[in-house]
Structure 1
Amino acid sequence: MKKSNSILTLALLASISFSLIACANKKSTDHENGNGVHDHSAMNHKAEDEMSDGSVVETSENKSISQLIDQYLVIKNALVQDDSRAAASAGQKLAETSSSIDLNTFEASKQSEIKEILEVVKEHGEHIAKSEIAHQREHFEGMAKDFMDLLAITGTDRTLYQQYCPMYDKGKGGSWLSDSQEIKNPLFGSKMLTCGSVKETISMK
């Protein structure tokens, strides 16, 4: 009887020990596959939110600069076609966009220089908006360097080409930007449409 009781006791202890081990293993597994996964998921969501927050600045930068490039190119194409009215309308939009850009969407170290360039671009746009075509072309040519300086800081959302005509301004020469390598001269329009060559390619960054 004593032997039988001993065997029964050992069997019961073994069963309890097995249950405790199994329970401990389940908790460990649950921690790895349950709570641990949820914590990791939360971290992932946080990281994605932070990336989204960071990308807002970048998107805002690109959008505002993209609008300026669009309006610049509208002026360019209008002058190619000798269309002073279309150039004036685009010049007004360029001036308005230049003054409405939120500098806080740019890195703090860039803001001062960008502000100075945008103020000059705004002035050019205002002159283009209210001038006859010869004066529009003067301001458009003068604005090319400002755009080059701006894009060197902010980058561009498209490939652009700096083009140059040596005949402009009585042989002093003049530059402009285009989104096509094909020469269509906005500084002369139909008078000398193909005068010029590509001097530099400005690539996306």
Structure 2
Amino acid sequence: MKRIIIGALAMATITFAACNSSHPSHEGHEHDSSAIAGEAVQQEAAAVKPQFTNVDPATAASLKLVVDHYLHIKNALAGDNASEAANGGKGMAAAMEKVDKAVMTSEQQQLYTENEDDLKEHAGHISKNGNNIEHQREHFAQMSEDVYALVKSFGGGQALYHDHCPMYNNNKGALWLSESKEIKNPYFGSEMATCGAVKEVMAPSAL
């Protein structure tokens, strides 16, 4: 039993160290291992352009509003502010009601529809749980998968960073999108603010 406990603690320490190493050190040590690891992560981030090159301007504008409210939620969770995350959820739900699928191509409609109901459900849960940040974070993790699919296809109206936290959900990991290259983890907030790594840099449009 003692060996099992020691092994588990060692694994947790390794995982935590790996998570921390993804954020470059600012201590100024030339050979600091965490700084080197962080630089390597940044260099490996892939540049991604959206799939669709013929997105109607009205569609692009309405989806940017959806993404903006998603970022509102993300920043609130990173700041441990559940009530503000709830406001972001309300804003996102309202923005989705204004998305006009009629101007989309059939392929675009299909992709958007595949993610629409899930996004509305997650936005609803986040908006109604301003006193339960853990529940909000659970839905945010699933919401991020859907928003990532939309941004990867339509673009997000601005350059976005696809980040990944390896420790969330019992080390199963989770992604999120950010408007900033700086890691601010929405799943752990101030507990582990810099836990994560940039996986992709996503262009605002396919043009």
TM-score, normalisation: structure 1: 0.69
Q: Choose the corresponding residue for 2:72, options 71, 74, 78.
A: 74
Q: Which moved more, 1:105-114 or 1:175-184?
A: 105-114
Q: Does 1:173 align with 2:163?
A: no
**Could you say which residue in structure 1 is the equivalent of 2:106?**
108
- Tell me by how many angstroms 1:107 deviates: 1.6
**Could you say which residue in structure 1 is the equivalent of 2:162?**
162
Is 1:98–1:119's contact at 8 Å kept on the other side of the alignment?
Answer: no
- Listed one character per residue, the Cα deviations across residues 170-195 of structure 1 (whole Å, up to 9, x for unaligned) are 21111100011100001000111110
- Tell me by how many angstroms 1:75 deviates: 0.3
Q: How does 1:71-150 map to 2 (within 5 A)?
A: 71-131=69-129, 132-150=132-150
Gap runs ≥5 in structure 1: 1-56
Is 1:160–1:201's contact at 8 Å kept on the other side of the alignment?
Answer: yes
The residue type equivalent to 2:133 in the other structure is: I
Is 2:62–2:98's contact at 8 Å kept on the other side of the alignment?
Answer: no
Q: How does 1:28-47 map to 2 (within 5 A)?
A: none
Over the aligned positions, Cα root-mean-square deviation in angstroms equals: 1.3
**Could you say which residue in structure 2 is the equivalent of 1:195?**
195
- Listed one character per residue, the Cα deviations across residues 134-159 of structure 1 (whole Å, up to 9, x for unaligned) are 01011111111111111222123111
TM-score, normalisation: structure 2: 0.69
Q: Stretches of 4+ moved more than 4 A in 1?
A: none
The residue type equivalent to 1:139 in the other structure is: H
Find the residue that maps to 1:77 and give its secondary structure. helix
**Could you say which residue in structure 2 is the equivalent of 1:186?**
186
CA distance in 2, matches of 1:152, 1:183: 20
User: What is the aligned residue count?
Assistant: 149
The residue type equivalent to 1:96 in the other structure is: A
- Listed one character per residue, the Cα deviations across residues 66-105 of structure 1 (whole Å, up to 9, x for unaligned) are 1011100000110011110010011011112223311012
CA distance in 2, matches of 1:109, 1:199: 27
Indicate the structure (1 or 2) with the bigger Cα radius of gyration. Answer: 1
CA distance in 2, matches of 1:123, 1:96: 12
Gap runs ≥5 in structure 2: 1-54
Find the residue that maps to 1:101 and give its secondary structure. coil
Find the residue that maps to 2:198 and give its secondary structure. strand
Find the residue that maps to 2:87 and give its secondary structure. helix
- Tell me by how many angstroms 1:110 deviates: 1.5
Identity of aligned residues (%): 42
CA distance in 2, matches of 1:78, 1:156: 19
CA distance in 2, matches of 1:118, 1:174: 20
Find the residue that maps to 2:91 and give its secondary structure. helix
Find the residue that maps to 2:56 and give its secondary structure. helix
Is 2:89–2:123's contact at 8 Å kept on the other side of the alignment?
Answer: yes
Instruction: Give the structure with the higher percent helix.
Output: 1
CA distance in 2, matches of 1:147, 1:90: 14
